[in-house]
Amino acid sequence: DTGVSQDPRHKITKRGQNVTFRCDPISEHNRLYWYRQTLGQGPEFLTYFQNEAQLEKSRLLSDRFSAERPKGSFSTLEIQRTEQGDSAMYLCASSLLGRGEKLFFGSGTQLSVL
Amino acid sequence: GENVEQHPSTLSVQEGDSAVIKCTYSDSASNYFPWYKQELGKRPQLIIDIRSNVGEKKDQRIAVTLNKTAKHFSLHITETQPEDSAVYFCAASETSYDKVIFGPGTSLSVIP
3-class SS of residue A86: helix
pLDDT digits (tens, 9 = 90+) for A3-29: 999 999 999 999 999 999 999 999 989
pLDDT at A101: 74
pLDDT digits (tens, 9 = 90+) for B98-107: 889 999 999 9
* pLDDT surpassing 60 at residue A108: yes
Per-residue CA distances from A68 to A33, A34, A75, A111 (Å): 11, 11, 6, 19
What percent of chain A has pLDDT above 90? 78
- Enumerate residues 6+ apart whose C-beta is below 8 A from B9: B104, B105, B106, B107
Please identify every stretch of chain B with a pLDDT value under 50, giving residue numbers as ranges.
none
Over the range B75-85, which residues count as b (16 or more CB within 10 Å of their CB) and which as e? Answer: bbbeebeeebb
* Partner residue facing A105 (CB), from B32, B43, B91: B43
pLDDT at B14: 98
B14 interfacial to chain A (CB closer than 8 Å): no
B1 interfacial to chain A (CB closer than 8 Å): yes
Q: What is the mean pLDDT of residues A96-106?
A: 81
Q: What is the mean pLDDT of residues A31-49?
A: 93
Q: Which residues of A touch B34 (CB under 8 A)?
A: 101-103
